[in-house]
Amino acid sequence: MEKERVLDVQNLHAVFKIQKKEYEVLHDISFSVDRNETVCIVGESGCGKSVTTLCVMGLLPKNGRITKGSIKLDGDEIAGLSEKEIRKYRGSKMGMIFQEPMTALNPLLTIGYQLRENLMLHRGVNKATADKMAVEYLTKVGIANPADRLKQYPFQLSGGLRQRVLIAMVLSAQPDLLIADEPTTALDVTIQKQVLTLLNELKKDMNAGILFITHDLGVVAEIADRVVVFYAGRKVEEGNTLQIFKNPKHPYTIGLMNAVPDVDKDEFVIQPIPGMFPNITEDIPGCRFSPRCPHADECALCRSEAPALKEIEPGHFAACHLIDQEAAS
């Protein structure tokens, strides 16, 4: 059975203007999200994960712009739409779950007021119906005593409860695409597990697609169907979760794996990736990862020519000259 595509990003390029000069922050990014699928974008801070979501949501800052590429949501081209046009898709077709719900929720308004307004706006229901639906959605995300919670303000709830409220608000509009930007980072491990389980259940219940942004490989293992690895604004590897965890091919992906402590062992050594993440203004010839790559001296092309993304096995792609060398030998 052919899967239904919710989000299709192709050859996306974006720049930020800094002191009258434009610097590329996304270079030729392509990926997709199908219904009932979770795609995780992983990488260090500054690699372009959040910028990608801002491009999709049409929320780039004033100094940022898309220079090239396509973003299709349910088959509709949304790249380059005006603010008025993109509003038709935000909330109703795609919703975003932020890292810190306290910044997404209005601290001066009750939970009930914010949920009710959201339902009236996106679902077109009256106030009485919205109140009933608000209770239903809080129940759906596992909040006990939902009627009482509606009377409370965000500061009266724990971080985990605030995140559930935000998820309820996003889900109440019944979007086809959920964008989750590091939604569990500020939560403790127990609550984090509950939120991830909840998202998995709701994804199936709503038949929606999830684009999940994280730097935590433990979260990726828990929730991802497919994984896209970013480095310095470029996609360096993509595959299903098993391919990425059992057979990582790009040195950066391998470095990320080695940097995770093995808690199953009494003693373990964390192997950090050497060097520093490049600044947006740095001009690095060849592969952007070459200054930090332990294998860059093994191939002359690494420091002179950017590697192309190639398919290693069905559905598994990587951009590395060393892989080409291995295949040729």
pLDDT reported for residue 2: 63
pLDDT reported for residue 280: 87
Mean pLDDT of 143-166: 92
Confidence check: pLDDT of 268 > 80: no
Confidence of residue 299 (pLDDT cuts 50, 70, 90): confident
Q: What is the DSSP letter of 123?
A: H
Burial 223-247 (b: 16+ CB within 10 A, else e): bbbbbbbbbbbbbbbbbebebbbee
What pLDDT digit, counting tens, does each position of 64-91 carry? 999 999 999 999 999 989 999 999 999 8
As a whole number of angstroms, the distance between CA 227 and CA 238 comes to 6
What pLDDT digit, counting tens, does each position of 202-245 carry? 888 888 999 999 988 988 999 999 999 999 999 999 999 999 99
As a whole number of angstroms, the distance between CA 17 and CA 65 comes to 9
Of 37-46, 54-63, 97-106, least confident by mean pLDDT is 97-106
- Report the percentage of the chain scoring pLDDT > 70: 97
Q: What is the mean pLDDT of the chain?
A: 91
More confident residue, 1 or 244: 244
pLDDT reported for residue 109: 95
What DSSP string runs through 74-94?
TTEE-TT--HHHHTTTBTTTE
Burial class of 2 by CB neighbour count within 10 A (0 to 12, 13 to 18, 19+): exposed
Mean pLDDT of 249-260: 93
pLDDT reported for residue 1: 54
pLDDT reported for residue 306: 93
> Which residues does 300 contact at the CB level (< 8 Å), separation at least 6?
none
